[in-house]
Amino acid sequence: MKKRLTLTFPKRTINMPITYRLAKDFNVAANIFRAHVAPDQVGKLLVELSGDIDQLDAAIEWMRANHIEVSLVNREIAIDQDSCVHCGLCTGVCPTESLQLDPQTHKLTFTRSRCIVCEQCLPSCPVQAISTNL
Partner 1 sequence: MRTVAEINDKIRRGTVTVWTITEAKALIAQMGVAQAAKTVDVITTGTFEPMEGSGAMINLGHTDPPIKIVECHLDGVLAYSGFGAVDLYIGAGQMATPGRESEAEEKGGGHVIADLVADKSVTLSAIGQMTDCYPRASLDTTITRDRINQFYLFNPRNLYQNFIVGVNGGDRPLSTYLGPLQPRLGNAVYANSGALSPLLNDPELNTIGIGTRILLGGGEGYITWEGTQHFPLQRRLPNRTPVGPAATLAVIGDAKRMNASWVRGCYFKGYGPSLMLGIGIPIPILNEEVLMRCSVSDQDLVAPVIDFSIPRRVRPTFGLVSYAQLKSGRLTLEGKTVRTAPLSSLYFAQQVALDLKQRIDDAEFELTAPVQSLPTDTRFMPQDSWGQ
- Footprint of partner 1 (CB under 8 A): 85-93, 100-101, 105-108, 120, 123-124, 126-128
Between 105 and 113, whose beta carbon lies closer to partner 1?
A: 105
The answer to whether 11 touches 44, Cβ cutoff 8 Å, is: no
Q: What is the smallest separation between the CB atom of 133 and partner 1, expressed in angstroms?
A: 20
Q: Which residues contact 124 (CB under 8 A, 6 or more apart)?
A: 89, 90, 92, 93
- Separation CA 47–CA 29 (nearest Å): 10
Between 10 and 88, whose beta carbon lies closer to partner 1?
A: 88
Let me know how long the chain is. Answer: 134
Rg (CA), the chain: 17
Between 78 and 127, whose beta carbon lies closer to partner 1?
A: 127
Q: What is the smallest separation between the CB atom of 6 and partner 1, expressed in angstroms?
A: 26
Q: What is the smallest separation between the CB atom of 33 and partner 1, expressed in angstroms?
A: 19
104: number of Cβ within 10 Å: 6
Between 41 and 83, whose beta carbon lies closer to partner 1?
A: 83
